[in-house]
Structure 1
Amino acid sequence: MLAEETDDWWISMLPVLQQDGVVVTWAMFRKEFLSRYFPEDVRGKKEIDFLELKQGDMSVTKYAAKFVELAKFYPHYTAEIAEFSKCIKFENGLRAVIKRAIGYQKIRNFSELVSSCRIYEDDTKAHYKVMSERRNKDKNRSKPYSTPGELRLNDERMPKREETPVEIVCYKCGEKGHKSNTCAGKVKRCFRCGEKGHTEVDCNHDDVVCYNCKEKGHISSQCKKPKKAQTGGKVFALTGMQTMHEGLLD
């Protein structure tokens, strides 16, 4: 049923067509209707738009809707070849990646073709989304700390290089809390007898001296006397050169 202005137009046109007893057919109505509301130049433009239609940046769903809309203005699809021709035209307008994936299937049912293209497009988008999320996770995992909060967290977890554990004992002076290469002390300690004031080169002891009992002939690890308590951080650690001597004597 026609509406408003169109209905008024048809009421005035019908008597003109029925002159001389002519029976108005659907073909006659369609011809007059298109002539009135869809002039030849407009129909020609719609045909060109249809022939040049490509998917481009549109989704498969939007491309199919535009295709169906413009196909109405293309008069060259007969009932016998309409389905086949629409499939060929639709397939040729698809984006290259979808066309390569779908084309070999040779689908010649229009609804089935649109459905297959849409499913492929959705699956591809989901795949690339997952891959993108994985790449972002890998990038963030290997990304160096950049924010102040991350730097503070890093400082809390990682020991500072410039800080030396208190348990470290200097080979040079016997004091705890620093290494011999950073020792500022001027007092030297002998690695042979453990006494301060001279080095091993100037030591008068012919034999190795036990750091525990101060007697000659054995080292502290072989000493049978009670071990002296280590107090005040003054006891020289049994490491370094003395350990090397012990290894040679064992």
Structure 2
Amino acid sequence: MRRSKLLYIPFWASYVFLYLPIAVLVVMSFNAGESAYTFEGFSLKWYGELAGDERVRDGLINTLMVAAASTVIATVLGTLLAVGLARHTNSKLLDSVALMPAVLPDVVLGIGLLVFYGMIQFTLGLYSVVLAHALFAMAFVAAVVRTRLAGADTSLEEASRDLGAGPVTTFMKITLPQLAPGIVAGALLAFTLSLDEFVIAFFTIGNDDPTLPIVIYSMVRFGVTPEINALAAILLLVSFTAVIAGQRLTKIGEREPRAQD
């Protein structure tokens, strides 16, 4: 049955609606003029302005530290959580609870963490943001690793145990290498999520050491400038690179079991 070409109109219209503003933002980041809305010629001067902006530089350093630390915590805990749920439990309730931080609204999670930090009298700062980002990123890592676990060869683990290897040895030498592509993909996703996360960081950070999204928010309050467009374009490039790398690793991990079969 021949498909009508009219069916492709809403498909492409959706893509244009989603990505045209992003394309405009990237183009305007190369604007030679000071207007964020009128293109006056090609120039890289706003990228140079970013390098000399102390607020942006400090915010970027804080964001990278938070993203790196939260990614390590989320990757370790998310991997262990995924293995525990897939191998040692059979409860849909625990599955739902484990993935709940990924579906909760950021505002609810941010306020809840702020109240919790206040109850335990935990000083707000970069450490509180690291723990908050690790909490919600852990759910995404667990979801990605569980997908990889679904295609893992359990017979290798059984053979390892039959030959006398303990649970730790089996996990380190058999399970972990099989999960490696999923773990790396989950880590890249966690890093990307932390890199541009604003709402949770806004509620859980103190008055000092703002992250880069909070710095951008403070700059946008006085109007959008080509400098902000340039900064957003750089963040888009980093995010797209991490997401594409994660997808490639996931596909590689999916092809390996088929090749072994």
Q: What TM-score does the superposition give when structure 1 sets the normalisation length?
A: 0.19
Which structure dedicates a bigger proportion of its chain to helix?
2
TM-score, normalization by structure 2 = 0.19
Please say which structure displays the higher CA radius of gyration: 1
Higher relative contact order (CA 8 A, sep 6+): 2
